[in-house]
Structure 1
Amino acid sequence: MTFQPIVPLSGYAGWSFLNRTMDVQKAAFNEAASVQRATDYFRENIGAVASADDLMSDRRLLSVALGAFGLEEDINNTFFVQKVLEDGIVDDDALANKLSDKRYFEFSKAFGFGDFDTPNTELSTFPDEIITKYQDTQFEIAVGEQDETMRLALNLDRELIEIANTQTSDNGLWYGVMGNSAVRSVFETALGLPSSVGSLDLDQQLSEFRDKTSRYFDDSEVSQFADKSKREELVRLFLVRSEVAAGSVGASPLENALSLLSGFA
């Protein structure tokens, strides 16, 4: 039986509770029999995997590999998954480089089958790196079954810091945000952008994200979110706006809180 995370409240109050109890809840989740079986098997057997074909032939290993990147629903898309792995990421024409969902890029990069003579599966640190990512991602999914906004908030803290610390141009960082569906969703909600912004020309989208971010955070660059306090501010704004939109409590106090958080009280 898998431990089900406890999220007794919605909005920022629920987020505060989740953070206070995070270590205990994650430990209980990771110690559940189903998670233990999956991660123990992966640790004991992944070192023998030398190719994408080897990984595809072991469904138990593949389940953890995909689950670490939130791609578990692709477990039956064998041709597609193998192509992503075998192409690697170095070649511009590699499949992972053409997909808008950058989880496939990270998945292929992590295993290294298409890029190196010796894949990353043979590194001594590899099993624990993937297992940790698997545990974190699966915990987030379990939290999302209780409250989807909490899952997005958890994901943001992990994903956004990686994007913000990427060595690329300022615009490149924004493309990283806009190309990550979960992170983008948080920004759109927090900044009050309609989902229809995605139908605009890419340059117009970039301008919208920059303008609204500058309005709420006095800085238009993604790099500012490498600072934990700025990520927390973004999460607060996201959760308050989400709760207002859901209408789960009286709108008036939430709208007042939103005004304060946005600097427009």
Structure 2
Amino acid sequence: MTTLSTYLQIANNQSKWQAITAKSPDVATQTKYFKDNIGKVTTVDAFMKDARLFNYAMTAFGLGSMTYAKGLMHKVLDGGVSSSSALANTLNSSNIKAFAQAFDFADNGDATTTSSTLVDTVVSRYTEQALETSQGKQNPGVQLALYFQQHAPSLTSVYGILADSNILTVVQTALGISSSTSSQSVDTQYRLLSSKVKLDDFKDPTKLQQFIARFAAQYDYNNGGDANSQSSLLSTLFDTSSSSSSFGLDTSLLLSVQGTKFGYF
């Protein structure tokens, strides 16, 4: 299966795939521990001393690779999110900010972890991360597409693209921008992306899916995908009887991604 077909199969049945992932032994075990113990935590210190709770929460917010940075994250949680000068608001990381907003001990104190909304949010995000990871073992392109679907709509600045390696990879791939541009200055990269990307498009469900389709086709092309299979798949997607047609893939998109390298719209 192509990256696009696999992505659409999951995206069109997100709740089903998340339910399957939630029942997998490892995810179910870690989630049970989190649910059983998070309510017992009343301080930042206690939260971070329980490695299973802390790692679960960090993973849920896409920060699994930063679990070693306990000093930094302690400062993030201590500072809260109320002040514009709070560390969480100055690091230019939407994931860190979301983490600090969820675990806002600074404003909510020992009531922070007793919220059912918090538990539901963290568990849902952890399950989504687990789903992305499991798909990534089979096809990294699918993992990137799912990640982009979840996080791109919340971008508020092009700097947010540069701060997230997964989102940057999707954007560079979709637009045919060489990854070597990442070695250029941040200001140069910012000007380049600003001239090619409209963040509001990622908040539009149809345009978001069109961009992901463009990424998926280019990803497969870059990784030795068959142009004929791409053309056949996209033609199928254009068939209005197909459930995936709900993503609004139009004729211009189909013509633009039939197995050849391309620029942006």
Instruction: Indicate the TM-score class for this superposition, using the shorter chain for normalisation.
Output: 0.7 to 0.9
Alignment partners' CA distance in 2, 1:95 and 1:210: 26
1:99-114 → structure 2 map (5 Å cutoff): 99-114=91-106
1:123-154 Cα deviation digits (max 9, x unpaired): 23211111111111121111111111111110
Tell me the equivalent position of 1:150.
142
Question: What SS does the corresponding residue of 1:206 show, helix, strand or coil?
Answer: helix
Alignment partners' CA distance in 2, 1:24 and 1:124: 22
Alignment partners' CA distance in 2, 1:23 and 1:116: 31
Query: In the alignment, does 2:175 pair up with 1:191?
Result: yes
Query: In the alignment, does 2:201 pair up with 1:224?
Result: yes
Question: What SS does the corresponding residue of 1:89 show, helix, strand or coil?
Answer: coil
Query: In the alignment, does 2:166 pair up with 1:182?
Result: yes
Query: In the alignment, does 2:114 pair up with 1:137?
Result: no
Alignment partners' CA distance in 2, 1:223 and 1:211: 14
Give 1:235 shift. Answer: 0.5
Q: Does structure 2 conserve the Cα–Cα contact (< 8 Å) formed by 1:43 and 1:127?
A: yes
- Computed over aligned residues only, the root mean square deviation of the Cα atoms, in angstroms, reads 2.9
Which of residues 53, 57, 68 in structure 1 aligns to 2:45?
A: 53
Alignment partners' CA distance in 1, 2:41 and 2:93: 25
Question: What SS does the corresponding residue of 1:141 show, helix, strand or coil?
Answer: helix
Give 1:237 shift. Answer: 0.8
Question: What SS does the corresponding residue of 1:152 show, helix, strand or coil?
Answer: helix
Alignment partners' CA distance in 1, 2:152 and 2:190: 17
Alignment partners' CA distance in 1, 2:51 and 2:182: 36
Describe the shift of the 1:232–1:261 C-alpha distance in structure 2 as closer, same or farther (beyond 3 A): farther
Tell me the equivalent position of 1:161.
153
Q: Does structure 1 conserve the Cα–Cα contact (< 8 Å) formed by 2:43 and 2:105?
A: yes
Alignment partners' CA distance in 2, 1:78 and 1:207: 34
Give 1:198 shift. Answer: 3.1
Which of residues 201, 207, 210 in structure 2 aligns to 1:233?
A: 210
Q: Does structure 2 conserve the Cα–Cα contact (< 8 Å) formed by 1:89 and 1:105?
A: yes
Describe the shift of the 1:231–1:35 C-alpha distance in structure 2 as closer, same or farther (beyond 3 A): same
Query: In the alignment, does 2:196 pair up with 1:212?
Result: yes
1:189-238 Cα deviation digits (max 9, x unpaired): 1111122333444443333223334xxxxxxx211221111011100110
Alignment partners' CA distance in 2, 1:200 and 1:191: 17
- 1:56 aligned partner, one-letter code: M
Query: In the alignment, does 2:5 pair up with 1:13?
Result: yes
1:233-263 Cα deviation digits (max 9, x unpaired): 1001101111111123358977861569868
| Identity between Structure 1 and Structure 2 (%) | 27
Query: In the alignment, does 2:62 pair up with 1:63?
Result: no
Give 1:59 shift. Answer: 2.1
Describe the shift of the 1:256–1:62 C-alpha distance in structure 2 as closer, same or farther (beyond 3 A): closer
- 1:194 aligned partner, one-letter code: S
Alignment partners' CA distance in 1, 2:15 and 2:88: 34
Tell me the equivalent position of 2:258.
257
Q: 53-62 vs 242-251, which deviates more?
A: 242-251
Alignment partners' CA distance in 1, 2:27 and 2:167: 26
Q: 136-145 vs 193-202, which deviates more?
A: 193-202
Query: In the alignment, does 2:20 pair up with 1:28?
Result: yes
Alignment partners' CA distance in 1, 2:144 and 2:76: 25
Q: Does structure 2 conserve the Cα–Cα contact (< 8 Å) formed by 1:190 and 1:237?
A: yes
Question: What SS does the corresponding residue of 2:160 show, helix, strand or coil?
Answer: helix
- 1:257 aligned partner, one-letter code: Q
Q: 176-185 vs 149-158, which deviates more?
A: 176-185
Q: 46-55 vs 36-45, which deviates more?
A: 36-45
- TM-score after normalising by structure 1: 0.77
Alignment partners' CA distance in 2, 1:28 and 1:132: 13
Residue-pair matches, total: 241
Q: Does structure 2 conserve the Cα–Cα contact (< 8 Å) formed by 1:101 and 1:179?
A: yes
- 1:188 aligned partner, one-letter code: Q
Q: Which runs of 5+ in 1 are unaligned?
A: 1-8, 164-171, 214-220
Question: What SS does the corresponding residue of 2:16 show, helix, strand or coil?
Answer: helix
Q: 13-22 vs 56-65, which deviates more?
A: 13-22
- TM-score after normalising by structure 2: 0.77
Q: Which runs of 5+ in 2 are unaligned?
A: 232-255
- 1:186 aligned partner, one-letter code: V
